[in-house]
A and B are shown apart, each in its own frame.
Chain A
Amino acid sequence: MLELRDITAGYGPAAPVLENVSLTIAPGEAVGLLGPSGCGKSTLARIVALLHPPRAGIVTVDGERVRGWRHRAPRHLRTAIGITFQQPRAAADPRLRLADTIAEPLRACGLAAAAKDRTAELAEAVGLTAELLHRRPHEVSDGQLQRACLARALVHEPRWLVCDEMTSMLDASTTAALVATVETYRDRTRAGLLAVSHDRDLLTRWCDRIIQLPPALIATSR
């Protein structure tokens, strides 16, 4: 069970983006997070992935309370939650080949021995050919890069997956392929899912239940 209780979060000294938000994701459950731009969807996704410290509130992962964020979060909790981002260009290190992008989390955790087989296995699952794996991010399309980012998010066999606007930059067929990959993985592992999107139709088809965040607490400028 992944549980967020009374989360308040924001950036810098500004007013909070989220106030007293609670959310629970059970194993095997798919939760959709819907809301207008600037309402804090991505912030909530980053809190769930232990990447943004909330100002107040409690996060527990399988009963273990999270006390540190980012590097300070214990490694076994970080790797238990995979995350994909909206823009694959920004989410992949431009200097790493796709194969290295996918294998990097394993190498970072001292599991380099397993990296090669695991990369090949995941590449097949997300539909990347061996030739594409040797390319760098600027040599592949957004869709192909997002496939690699999804493979990277799955490389540790996470028990939860956070998809932050994973498909909003992609065409319909790539979207369908990526969602199918996530569903195949979840059927096998009973992993929980938090899917963030502003696309209500997609979330209705994909998720068991949908949470609608209220419009922005802070005025969206620009």
Chain B
Amino acid sequence: MADPTTLSTRAVRRYAAFGVTAAVLLTVLLVPPLTGLDQQLVDLSQKLRPPSWAHPFGTDDVGRDLLLRCVYGLRVSLLVGVVAALAATVLGTAFGALAGALGGWTDRLLMRLVDAFASVPHLLLGIFIVAMFRPGVWPVVMSVALTHWLSTVRIVRAEILSLRSRPYVDAAISGGASRWRVTVRHLLPGALPQAGLAAVLMVPHAIWHESALSFLGLGIPTHQASLGTLIQTGRGSLLTGDWWPTLFPGLFIIVPTLAIAGLAGLWRERLNPRRRSELML
């Protein structure tokens, strides 16, 4: 055993991942309702001020406090990320279970459908989906969910295919269980940990995707802070040497997504302790 007073890198990573995720969740959930500060408060006398004690992240081109904008932006991005990841996981698990449990022609047809979806670049498909609706949070959620369920289908299907050949499934069939019963009682519960892991790993992806869409001006409307829109509006002042309107929202994308991915890595280690995992994105 290592000296108990020094922390191993794994323990540090664990504490960091838990700590940052907890801090992010608390900030995002508590700051807006408790502080009552107005993120839209414009103060043109204070525009584009570098970080100071009054404005730790500086101000944007109309004098809004960037720290507050970042917190609100992260709130929107996290909402999009979590809801989209959940929706994609439910969709992916349902299709994956259907393909894996039924096999044969159903499986082939569903998987070709998945291949067809996957052959279109995510961002292009996402842009196509948001373009069909008025800009807002929900079209972005839908766009992200509909482009990210494909990997979950593959994961759940593969897991179910491997479980399907276990003797306990043979025993269940021999005992008179229907296809439905075998799937719901034996196959799905076995595949759910993997689907859950895929869901957690998908949250950072979904956040990036949301940011990318918003950065392109296609996602969340510009007046509503999201990490993508913040970077997009900050981009203009980058050329004049004002670095803070893009740096801090960028950090707000990177740090929480790394923490969530770290949590997913720990979960994967618990599922499969023999395979040590590094950060996986």
Contact = CB atoms under 8 A, between A and B. Distances in A.
Nearest to B187: A93
B128 interface: no
B189 A46 contact: no
A145 to B, nearest CB: 11
Given A85-B167, A85-B170, A95-B190, A71 B175 contact: no
A156 B177 CA distance: 12
Contact of B172 (A49, A81, A85, A108): A108
Interface in A193-215: none
Q: Specify which of A78, A82, A92, A108 lies most central, judged by the most chain B CB atoms within 10 Å of its CB.
A: A108
Contacts of B280: none
B2 interface: no
B55 interface: no
A104 B175 CA distance: 8
B178 interface: yes
B173 interface: yes
Given A71-B179, A90-B166, A108-B181, A78 B171 contact: no
B176 interface: yes
Contacts of B181: 108
A149 B170 CA distance: 12
A114 interface: no
A10 interface: no
A108 B176 contact: yes
B171 A95 contact: no
Contacts of B171: 83, 85, 91-92, 149, 152-153
B167 A50 contact: no
B270 interface: no
A90 B173 contact: no
A152 B170 contact: no
Given A71-B179, A104-B185, A108-B181, A83 B174 contact: yes
A51 B167 CA distance: 10
A44 interface: no
Nearest to A88: B167
A128 B208 CA distance: 54
Contacts of A92: 168, 171
B79 to A, nearest CB: 33
Contacts, number: 71
Contacts of B178: 71, 108
Interface string B176-212: 1111011001100110000000000000000000000
Contacts of A217: none
A143 interface: no
Contacts of B167: 85, 87, 90-91
Interface in A85-118: 85, 87, 90-93, 95, 104-105, 108-109
Interface string B125-141: 00000000000000000
A150 B29 CA distance: 54
Interface residues of B, number: 19
A155 interface: yes
Nearest to A71: B179
A46 B174 CA distance: 10
Contact of B177 (A49, A51, A105): A105
A110 B4 CA distance: 56
A135 interface: no
A79 interface: yes
Given A95-B189, A95-B190, A104-B185, A78 B168 contact: no
B212 to A, nearest CB: 39
Contacts of A149: 171
Contacts of B168: 90-93
A90 B181 CA distance: 19
B174 A81 contact: yes
A111 to B, nearest CB: 9
Contacts of B182: 71
A87 B168 CA distance: 10
Nearest to B163: A93
Given A51-B170, A71-B179, 4 more contacts: A51-B174, A82-B174, A91-B171, A156-B175
Interface of A: 46, 49-51, 70-71, 75, 78-79, 81-83, 85, 87, 90-93, 95, 104-105, 108-109, 149, 152-153, 155-156
Q: Which 10 A-B pairs have the closest CB atoms?
A: A105-B175, A108-B177, A91-B167, A85-B167, A109-B176, A79-B176, A75-B176, A90-B167, A93-B168, A108-B181
